[in-house]
Chains A and B, each alone.
Chain A
Amino acid sequence: MRRFLSFRDFDWTLLGFVLILSIISILEIYSATMHTKFVGFHKMQMLWLLGGLGAMFVFSVIDYHRLLEFIHWIYGFCIVSLIAVLAVGTKVLGARRWIKLPGGIHFQPSEWVKLVLIVAIARYFWGLSGRELTWKDIFKAMALVGVPMLLVLKQPDLGTALTYSPVLLVGLFLGGIDWKKAGIIILVGLLAVGVIWKSGKVLKPYQKARLTSFMNPDDDPKGSGYQIRQSLIAVGDGGVFGRGATKGTQTQGDFLPIPYTDFIFAAFCEEHGFIGASIVLLLYFLILMRLIQNAQTAADLPGTLIVMGVVAVLIFQIAVNIGMVIGLMPVTGIPLPLMSYGGSSVLFTFLALGMVMNVRMNRFVN
């Protein structure tokens, strides 16, 4: 089946952009944690990064068609692991998101589900290819994503649950939904959001407060508006050129909440200003465009769908995280890919890239 696979076809350009961002991330984590008890996290991040790179190379030689074949089993295992989290997971800060594995490693299944969903959606729409989507097809796709989404929402982890939705949206869009059905889904979706918000059953009050406080952060500057307020101050304090590495007063004075994970972009903005922030956004642009180019050159539909699933998750996380940092989006606790500290996030990103690499290396197959 496979003819010839060579690392000459590996997307070194893409990897270059990714590594530049990763280095920026490590430097910023160093700066943001230097005066806190999290000092040294940048070294941890380097280890995660090396692990991620290794995993990416391993993944890149696994033919994605093999993944597509076994995705039913993997998907089933994911659902089981999410249920296991709810049953026996470790509770941290009121939420059950982690499973403690032997050896003391904490494992967060909801991160991996993203990857599985990307492949599962690709497999699903590949199977439907060629015909117009019926309502039944659409509901099946929604259930495919909706089941793990509800389980994660139950943890509760609103942020991660939301990152599953772009996979579905891109799948529907590329899978051939017609405009009429899309319009109806959008309308019903908006209505559902309104009902859920009003009913107060699905979302906990603190989640609601976080979601709305970004609009008026000054209403409750010590409470729910605190994080967003401090973040805005940090970003604005940076100005055009920034306060300089390790010199951001918001970042160093511990005013900015968790400046090495969710709010790392605010810390970076304070220390490197508008120019630095624009460079990071440019890097994201280049990475995303390079990914889409790989999607275009993919050998087949599932290849394209896998790459575009990765693109969808990445742009969603970038938009929501940076939007949150600059006050355009609510606080949802979604990390910034390639910037935020965290093993699960790094591994997801690099495994996703590994799949993309494999799609690229397989582009001349057939």
Chain B
Amino acid sequence: MLNREEKLPGFKLTVIQYVIVAILLILVFGLWRLQVVGAENYHALAEANRIRKVPILAPRGKLFDREGRLLVDNYPSISCYLVREQGHDYMADLPMIARGLNMTVDQIVAILKKYQLAPKYQPLPLKQDITPDEHEFIEAHRDEFPELETVEEQRRLYPKDGFAAHLIGYVGEVSEDMLNDPKYAYYEPGDVVGRSGVEQSYDAMLRGQDGSQDVIVDSHGREVGKLGTEHAVPGKSLKLTIDIDIQRAAENALGDRNGAIIAMDPHSGEVLAMVSRPVFDPNAFAVRIGRDEWNKLVTDPEHPLLNKAIQAQLAPGSTFKIIMAAAGLEEGVAQDLKVHCSGGVSLFGTYQKCWVHGGHGEVNIDKGIYQSCDVFFYTLAAKLGIERIAKWAHAFGIGSKTGIDLPNEVSGTMPSAEWKMRLFHQKWYPGEVTSVGIGQGAVTATPVQMARALSGIASGGALKRPHVIFPDELPADYRKAMYDTFPGSGDKVVPIDPASWETITDAMAQVMQPGYGTDPSAHLEGIDFAGKTGSAQTMSNALAARLGHAHSVKDNAWFVGFAPRRNPDIVVCILFEAGEHGKLAGRLAARVIAAYVNKQRRLENNLIAKTPNKVDVGAIWDNPSQPKIFGGKQVVKPQGDQAEMWGGHFYLTMPPVKTSTLATAMVGGN
């Protein structure tokens, strides 16, 4: 049926042979192109595939107080990640995982949803900064939950309850704006940088230099070997001028009142304490703040993130009268000025009231200061005129930044004819000068400006640049760069006649004298304490009357005090918002001054023991009602030098204080 003899013409098979040869030659050519011509290029790509640069984060420099007591530390923090590429059904494990990590399943599902577009090999951050118990849970269930991975990072540990929070500041991920700013060219996306306070202004010193390690990985990013290492250079630790004892006194003094306190050494400008209220917890930022929490902080009408000691520009009220007095005496107007205060005075065609309804009677410069007579200073202002007032106020730094080494200081306002024309294109009316004379009107100042100005007057005109880091901690070029970054009045001498200096400081000491001054309640027995109260209206009387809430808008209470009265060792400025009367602020200042003086006396009398002990100032996970469980066992806190840090706990090294009755009996001051 079928013909078995049939054969093919041979040439067709030859054609096929040539086709095969051609195909193979094309393949050889393709191989040649890749393996001989392109070898170098592909070799580089292969290396880039398998070698991953893993950053080694440099620990940030620690912060210490002026006595070397630890203020801000780093702690090893463990974050938990979910690795999805484990061939494990992690969805089934979620309820167990959630329980072990003290989360809800919904929270984990929300995280999974948020990262659903992320590539499979990328681990998802389940929980940052897990507790020892949670770490224990992960370690104990390695086999059941291979999808859980832990990563150790160094995190910032700040004191609890916002102790010195505004001064220290906080760290956070570098922002888009900063990345676009050529000034911060050395930042890379994802870097953790100082975002406020000392953390921001000294970021370049604190941050150190990140290192890196070349790690050999497979396509899943699993580490299969190590190559070279470039070690990280830790950030430089810095010593602040802050004294924890004074800071603590200031924190306690202000309590939960809104406002600010700054305590400073007028000889040097070293800031001893700085408090602002309301406060925030910088530890919330160290762990990565949630969006809700951040929005709450930013939109809070009380502005908890604002450091009011340098960022609140408000009418200084009667504390400004000291600057007026200095101007009046130096211009030769105030020495012999005597006015009769009958509770008010008619000037420039309007009747201006004094704060004392019945009037102060005969008032000279002394009584004008310690009784804070408005009529005296209306009259003095009218005699001086705005130009001479502005000249002296500018000389004492009102209206310009002090140059403190903290970010975002504001300058306040010192009005003058030129200022009004420049801003409002209006002529200055002579009648406007009277409200300036009592620190109202357009005058605004920050607590740090008032502290610097008034202690400068008390120091014979030597004004200092306030600072929170000892200048000798910094390299010379860095110091200069800092001064350029934070320009301001800086160090300066305003020559003042010793006679006027004596008059003013003596009158300021009278302020706290029972029977004389406006604030006898702040009197400190045995301490040479001078100061000036201020009760500043937040809006003019006329406006308040028109708006009909003259009583609902409370005055801000101010107080600037120092000890001793001449060449003071400490100046304290208090801003007590809605505190109504300056004497209420004065009492707070007295507590800070007393803490300082008592400490100095104990030091002089060698009453402070040399060996410090550790004081627990709290922890991120601290809950006193629950005993600490670590590894299933209740653990006794380590003592002494065993651990600066334990389980997120944070210790300050405090000198033990010997109780002594001598301290209050000492005669202090001059």
Given contacts A236-B41, A253-B217, contact A326 B27 (CB under 8 A): yes
Contact of A126 among B6, B33, B43 (CB under 8 A): B6
Q: Distance in Å from the Cβ of A365 to the closest Cβ of chain B?
A: 9
How would residues 203 to 245 of chain A score, 1 for a CB under 8 Å from any chain B CB and 0 otherwise? 0000000000000000000100000001011111111100000
Given contacts A277-B35, A301-B8, contact A315 B50 (CB under 8 A): no
B481 close to A (CB within 8 Å) = no
Contact: B219 with A253, CB < 8 Å? yes
Given contacts A253-B218, A278-B28, contact A129 B16 (CB under 8 A): no
Contact of A237 among B16, B31, B43, B220 (CB under 8 A): B43
**Segment at the A interface, from B17-25, B567-575, B605-613, B655-663:** B17-25
Contact of A127 among B2, B7, B10 (CB under 8 A): B2
Closest-by-CB residue of B relative to A237 is: B46
A45 close to B (CB within 8 Å) = no
The CA of A288 and the CA of B18, in the complex, are separated in Å by 11
Q: Distance in Å from the Cβ of B35 to the closest Cβ of chain A?
A: 4
Residues of B within 8 A of A366 (CB): 4-5
The CA of A292 and the CA of B36, in the complex, are separated in Å by 32
Residues of B within 8 A of A288 (CB): 20
Chain A, interface size category, equals 35 or more
A90 close to B (CB within 8 Å) = no
Chain B, interface size category, equals 35 or more
Contact of A129 among B6, B34, B42 (CB under 8 A): B6
Contact of B2 among A126, A173, A308, A319 (CB under 8 A): A126
Q: Distance in Å from the Cβ of A68 to the closest Cβ of chain B?
A: 8
Contact of B30 among A35, A127, A255, A326 (CB under 8 A): A326
Contact of B23 among A126, A173, A319, A327 (CB under 8 A): A319
B631 close to A (CB within 8 Å) = no
A130 close to B (CB within 8 Å) = yes
Contact: A292 with B50, CB < 8 Å? no
Residues of B within 8 A of A269 (CB): 31, 34-35
Q: Distance in Å from the Cβ of B490 to the closest Cβ of chain A?
A: 56
Most interface-central of B8, B12, B43, B45 (chain A CB within 10 A): B8
The CA of A118 and the CA of B12, in the complex, are separated in Å by 18
Closest-by-CB residue of A relative to B25 is: A281
A174 close to B (CB within 8 Å) = yes
Closest-by-CB residue of A relative to B30 is: A326
Q: Which chain A residues numbered 1 to 57 have a C-beta less than 8 Å away from chain B?
A: 35
A190 close to B (CB within 8 Å) = no
Residues of B within 8 A of A232 (CB): 34, 42
Q: Distance in Å from the Cβ of B66 to the closest Cβ of chain A?
A: 54
How would residues 282 to 319 of chain A score, 1 for a CB under 8 Å from any chain B CB and 0 otherwise? 00110011001001100111001000100100010011
The CA of A198 and the CA of B212, in the complex, are separated in Å by 50
Residues of A within 8 A of B516 (CB): none
A274 close to B (CB within 8 Å) = yes
How would residues 37 to 48 of chain B score, 1 for a CB under 8 Å from any chain A CB and 0 otherwise? 011011101110
The CA of A127 and the CA of B32, in the complex, are separated in Å by 45
Residues of A within 8 A of B4 (CB): 299-301, 366
Q: Distance in Å from the Cβ of A274 to the closest Cβ of chain B?
A: 4
Residues of B within 8 A of A239 (CB): 35-36, 39, 43
The CA of A53 and the CA of B613, in the complex, are separated in Å by 84
Residues of A within 8 A of B3 (CB): 129-130, 301
Contact: B20 with A254, CB < 8 Å? no
B13 close to A (CB within 8 Å) = yes
Contact: A253 with B30, CB < 8 Å? no
A95 close to B (CB within 8 Å) = no
Given contacts A129-B6, A130-B3, A253-B224, contact A308 B46 (CB under 8 A): no
Contact: B6 with A236, CB < 8 Å? no
The CA of A130 and the CA of B220, in the complex, are separated in Å by 61
Contact: B13 with A296, CB < 8 Å? yes
Residues of A within 8 A of B21 (CB): 285
B26 close to A (CB within 8 Å) = yes
Contact of B13 among A130, A230, A270, A308 (CB under 8 A): A308
Contact: A240 with B10, CB < 8 Å? no
Contact: B27 with A238, CB < 8 Å? no
Most interface-central of B17, B20, B45 (chain A CB within 10 A): B20
The CA of A240 and the CA of B622, in the complex, are separated in Å by 64
Closest-by-CB residue of A relative to B12 is: A174
Known: A301-B6, A322-B27, A328-B26. 14 other contacts (CB 8 A): A130-B3, A174-B12, A230-B49, A233-B46, A236-B38, A240-B36, A253-B50, A255-B219, A281-B27, A284-B24, A292-B16, A300-B5, A304-B8, A328-B27
9 closest A-B pairs by beta carbon, nearest first, are A236-B42, A239-B39, A237-B46, A274-B35, A326-B30, A301-B6, A253-B218, A236-B34, A254-B219
Q: Enumerate 12 A-B pairs (CB-CB under 8 Å) in ascending A order.
A: A129-B6, A174-B13, A233-B45, A236-B41, A238-B35, A250-B50, A253-B49, A255-B49, A300-B5, A301-B7, A315-B23, A322-B27
Which positions in B face A, CB cutoff 8 Å? 2-8, 10, 12-13, 16-17, 19-21, 23-24, 26-28, 30-36, 38-39, 41-43, 45-47, 49-50, 119, 216-220, 224
